[in-house]
Structures are given as C-alpha cells and as structure tokens.
Structure 1
Amino acid sequence: MRLRMRRRLRSGHRPRARARLLTALAVGAALTGGCSPARGGSDEVVPAAQVAEPARGARNGWRLVWSDEFQGAAHSRPDRRTWVFDRGGEPQWGNHEWQYYTDRPGNASLDGRGDLVLTARRERLRGMVCSVGPCNITSGRMTTKGRYARAYGRFEARIRVPRGQGLWPAFWMLGANSDKVRWPGNGEIDVMEVVGRQPGTVHGSVHGPGYVKQGIEKHTALAHGRSLADGFHTYRVDWMPDRIVWYLDDKPYGVARSGRLRRGQKWVFDHPHYLLLNLAVGGDWPGPPDRKTPFPARMVVDYVRVYAPA
C-alpha cells in the first residue's frame, strides 16, 4: 500500500457473474498455459491455490489461472492454504498507522454469501502493543506470500470499500523476493488504495528504487461526487514486461512505463509478486479517524482473480 514515509453493508442479495471453483490444483496445472514473460520474468505458483474452471474463465483474450471466490460458511476463516496473516502494530508497517492486525475471525472471515470481510473494530485486546495512536483498533491484513506469486498478467478484485475518515483499504502486490531484496528494490504494485477523506477517488501506484516516498501514481474519481463505498467496484491492473495499466470498472485511467523512468529510477517489475488485502486505519496519508468514522468498518471482497493471456 502507499508508503508515504519511511517505507512503506451490502443491502440485500446481488446477482453475480461468478466463475465456479473447480478444485485446489497443484503447481503444474496452475502453470499450464500461463503467461510467458518476454524479458527475464517467470511464473511462480505455489500449491493449493484455488483455480477457477478454465472453460468459464476466458474473456477478452485472457484466461483465468488463479482465483479465490471466498466460498464458505459464515464466520469461517479464509483458506489457509491460500492466505497467511500479517499481525501486530507499528512500527513494522512504517506509515504511523493506528490499527493492530490480528488473525481472528472478527477481523477477517467469510460471510457465507461468497465474500471475504476485513473488519476494523474499536477494541483493545490483551497483548496489543502500538507505537502510535490510542492502540484500540484491530483490523485484518492477508497475503499470499509463500502461497502464490506471479509475474505479469491481469490482477483484479471486486471490492466494496468502507466509508469514513481515516480508513485506508488496499489491494496490492509486493515482490516475492522480499526475503532477499529489501523494499523498494523488490517492487510494490498498488492496484487499489482509497482514503476516507477522498471517498470517490481510487489511487494506483508503483514504488521502486528512486520513487519511494512518492511513487509513480495514477488516480481517477467517480463522476457526480459519488462514493466508492456506495457499492462494489472492480479494481485491476494489467501488468506487462514494459508497463502497468490501472483500471476502475474495466476503464483504464493510468499507465506506468519502464521507458519513461527518470534518472536514478529503476524498473523492478520483472519477477513474481504476491498479493495483499488489508484495511488500515490512520497513518501519514489518510490521517486519523474522527468521531464520525463508523466502527466496525468493513472492507468486503467478492473475489480476487488472476488471468494470463489466452
């Protein structure tokens, strides 16, 4: 998610065009027909990713190779074969954020209707230690690190963001070589970030060497003062060896190109990245929540999908 400083309810039932889950497939099946990077890239797919049925996944020249549709019983955990949890509070996130991440179902669970819900709550749990803020907010942050990573393709999620000052939902990616190459040398791709004080604007950005504090950022806003929290929207990037293109509801709104970097900047998006979903609260960019910020606050994720060229 955006690293400005040191480093970084749904009402009623809605119809869905949802790909049916087939099974959890092993590495070889997930790689079949995958993207073939033209410049030093490679696919890295770890077992137990949930892969949608290929016959139902192809669209507009892209073939679905990995997804999580978040099917499961209400209050159950996300699939631990696919997701791992980051836990704890600052200073490890580097943005002076207020939330303390947990792996409890109260902060990250399925709703029984095909959604993942990340929930930020005003509460103080035993053992919470925070370097900033009142240390009375819990939330959820999930990643596929060590479970699934990929270089190049189409990465998208359908999400309803929460409403309120100080809330900071994000869908993003980090270089899977992070254990060997420190940020930002491993690369960061922010597919979607929304801050509560700009309820109608989505931000997409990349961070790498030479564009750390202020990444290469693109953004767009809904027309007529509408809020992204009013409904579900699809957030996406198409990642190719020489460029990354951002989309909101299938409409492109920005592009970063390897050939347009400034002196001292380096393109580090030629290797697999893993996925992250989180709901942050407070921090250098969104600012703190206020008395009107509703808690619990919920980030609802309908699906996360990854496509390769068909």
Structure 2
Amino acid sequence: MRRRALAAAVAALLLAAGIAAPARGAAAELVLNGSAVRDLTGWTAAAQSGEVGLRRVTGLRGAPATTAVQLSRPAASGAWAFALARLTGGFVPGRTYRMTVWARDTAGAGSRLGMLLANGAWEHRPAGVIEFGTLAGTGWRRMTRTFVATSAGAADTGFYLSLPAGGPFTIQVTGLTVQAVTAPLPARVSGAPSRVITFAGAAGSAPDSRVWNHDLGAGGWGNGELQTYTSSSDNVRLDGAGRLLITARRDERGGLTSARLTTRGKVAVPAGSYVEASLTAPVGAGVWPAFWLLGTSMEKVGWPACGELDVFEGTGAEPTLAKSAAHLPDAANPRLDRPYDWGEGGATTDLGVPLDAGPHRFGVYFDATVVRFFVDRKPTLTLWASDAVASGRSWTFGKPQFLLVNVAVAGDVDSSATSFPRTMTVGPISIWTGGVPA
C-alpha cells in the first residue's frame, strides 16, 4: 500500500471510531492520549514491511508515567515504519509550541527514534522540525523540541513517531505532549547598529588589515574543497563603492583560487548580539559562498566544541536557495559534531530568484538561550538551548564569535561545466547588541 493511501486509511479509521477532527485554534494539550492512560484510543501504527504491534503497558515503576504504549516488530525490512498519536487541536501560525516524548528501548539495542508532527504520509506538517535520538541502554529518555508553527496543520496531523525501518525493535513511549509555550526570543532594539564593519577604500585595494585576516592555502579545508585560498587582489579586493569582492577563478594552470577572510583575534561579536551582512552571492554547480561565525574559543577547544553559526550558505547548483545551519558538539564527546543543518525546518529559504540577481540581508542573533536566523529581516530557523541540552548537545552560543566570509568550490559536486570567475559581493556588516533591529 502506498504511504499516502495508508495515511488516508488511517484518518478514515480514526473518524469512523468517533474521534473528532482537531479544532482550529490552540489547546492546552494537543495530544489526545499521550500515555494510553485507559486504552489505545487515537493510536495507529504501520510499516512498509511487517506489522507494527501496539500494546498498552501498565504498572510501570520508575517511569515518567505508570502507563505506556509498546511498539514492537519482529525482524523485517523496508523504507519506513511509524506510529501516530491523534491530536485534538490545530496550531496557530507564528505561535511557539513544544513537543515531548519519553521513550526507551526495552532490549537496549540502541534503536533510533524520530518525532515530528505530520500525517502518515509525512504531510500536513505545521512546522518542518524533526528530532531524532538514539535510545541508549534500557532507561527512559526524554526527547523534546520547541518550534514556531508555520501552518495550522490538518485534520489528520498527528504526533508522528519515526520507528526503525528495518530489524526487530521493542520501544515503549509515554508522556507525549504538544503544548503552546513561552520560549525566549531575541529582544527588539531600535537605533543605529553598535558597530558597522565597512569596506571603504579605493577600488582594487585590500580590506582593512586591522579587522581582517586572510586564511591561506589548500588541502580541502576539512570539506574536500578544491580551491586554494590566496590574498591576491585577483581573489579579494574592495570595489571602491563600500563593498568587498571575493572571487573564485581558474588560474592559468586550470587550478581554482579564491579567498577566505576572518576577524579572528581582531573583532569578536559578543553573545546577545545580532549580526547582519548584505550579500550578492554567486551561483553555479560547485560554487559554495558563505557568511558564518565561529566561537573565539576555537584555538583552545577546537571544532566543533567552539560552535559554528552558518548565517548564509549557497549551493550554486540550487541558485535560489539560501541555507543556514548551526554546529554544536556532543555533550559527551566534544569532538563529535551534532549539527542542526540544512534539512531543519526553516533552515533553507527559497528566495524565488537567483542569489546573484541582487543583494539580500542575512543575519543571526545568538545568546545563551536562543539562536535565530533571518533572511531580509524575516526569521527563518530558531533553535533553543533547552532543546539542544535535552538532546545531548552542548550549547556554545553564550560566548563571543568571530566572522568569516569566503567562496569555496565543493569537491563533491561536478563543477566542470561552471564558468569562472564567480564573485560574491559583501556589503557593510552591521552588529546590534542587545537584540534584533526593529
């Protein structure tokens, strides 16, 4: 049975059982029966291959609740398996919510569990967020994710649990909740920026060495990149009109050169600040322009323990898409990257026009509790420290960050048909302390 058809069948069965469709508007608790307190009303499960068993478990001790739902399946293969818990209400776009589940793998097999809000076909999602976690050991683990609703959802939107697609599993879940919450957000500030990093100077001259360093050399830069970074005016220069030009080009031997500038050791953006740049970015397969931040503690603690905020990244083969990401370390292993990446809800913005058609403003606010990215002053991806810590990450954004701008050429994309040079134009970089400009 196709997944879309299965989702329709699940919804029909729930309605036939007399379970009301979600009302439009907010509710104190949106999950109908998150702990199976009396029965399994509102619960369904399905898989592409093999039946997923649903059983109510009672008399639990040392658990978040005395009842739970047990989801199990013998060995099978397939592309998907899920359980769905019915909701009793819809969502208010723009409002902040939090979804939570307690789960454990009774066999201690390290099953991977995901949670999101969707129907059985992964449609009708009130927000694009999804949280995956590994259920280590046999103890209970709390998974939680805060999000801003972007749509109301639909009558068949449920609390979707993504189950292991292949192999046997026995997972118990309880305490499923979805509630409207008040979560910390950046303050709004008025007035001029606290600091503006300008690119004043004669056309063809170098950027201010009191502010900028040149990263130099090749070696892939940890990502298998193809370019060699230089400080040559062929690759980085001022345009004479207050802008910085970073150009990736082929040299006479057919190699690729470009530039990467950083403010490490010279300019740091304090936590509790919003930083923004106006960029016109190049496109073309393999072309990878970026505006980003790294923690000033990098030389001491390394990456990703220092934290990284990718305010803007372009993947040139997708010319209308602007992407953001945050890289955080695993709490138990600070050398392990646990990112919120381009697949997160709100992390990828379709501008509707190519990135090289004209300038757009890309910004981020960060502090000890929240990170919020912006495109043209409109919020896109929002991340909260409480969620990161609950997921086993360390939150690193309560400390200063330094700036980076560059144009790379990706080594895992065929750029042979891309003509060079390709130039990113960077306007003045503005910093507001205390919040986001109104």
TM > 0.5: yes
Q: How big is the shift at 1:240?
A: 2.7
Unmatched 5+ stretches in structure 2 = 1-187, 331-335
Measure the CA separation in 2 of the matches of 1:115 and 1:67: 13
**Equivalent position SS for 1:260:** helix
Tell me how large the CA RMSD over aligned residues is.
Answer: 1.8
Conserved 8 A contact 1:238-1:244: yes
| Residue 83 (structure 1) aligned with residue 204 (structure 2) | no
Kindly indicate whether structure 1 or structure 2 has the higher relative contact order, using CA contacts under 8 Å at least 6 residues apart: 1
Measure the CA separation in 2 of the matches of 1:162 and 1:137: 15
Unmatched 5+ stretches in structure 1 = 1-58, 126-133
Partner residue, 1:65: 194
Partner residue, 1:304: 429
Runs of 4+ in 1 over 3 A off after TM superposition: 213-217
Q: How big is the shift at 1:112?
A: 0.8
Partner residue, 1:212: 337
Measure the CA separation in 2 of the matches of 1:216 and 1:116: 27
| Residue 102 (structure 1) aligned with residue 230 (structure 2) | yes
Identity across the alignment (%): 36
Deviations 1:213-240 (A, max 9, x none): 64344121123xx212111000001223
TM-score (norm. length: structure 1): 0.72
Q: How big is the shift at 1:256?
A: 1.0
> How many residues are aligned here?
237
What pairs with 1:119-198 in structure 2 (closer than 5 Å)? 119-123=247-251, 136-152=255-271, 153-198=273-318
Partner residue, 1:222: 351
Q: How big is the shift at 1:60?
A: 4.5
Q: How big is the shift at 1:283?
A: 2.9
| Residue 202 (structure 1) aligned with residue 202 (structure 2) | no
Partner residue, 2:407: 279
Conserved 8 A contact 1:143-1:275: yes
Deviations 1:139-195 (A, max 9, x none): 000000010112220110001001211100000000111111010001101110010
Conserved 8 A contact 1:281-1:288: no
**Equivalent position SS for 1:179:** helix
C-alpha change, 1:179 and 1:124, in structure 2 (3 Å) is: farther
Counterpart of 1:307, as a letter, is W
Deviations 1:32-87 (A, max 9, x none): xxxxxxxxxxxxxxxxxxxxxxxxxxx94254122222111010000000000000
379, 395, 411: which one aligns with 1:267: 395
Measure the CA separation in 2 of the matches of 1:97 and 1:275: 20
Deviations 1:80-121 (A, max 9, x none): 000000000114x11000000001111110011111000111
Moved more, 261-270 or 71-80: 261-270
Conserved 8 A contact 2:368-2:395: no
Measure the CA separation in 2 of the matches of 1:63 and 1:154: 12
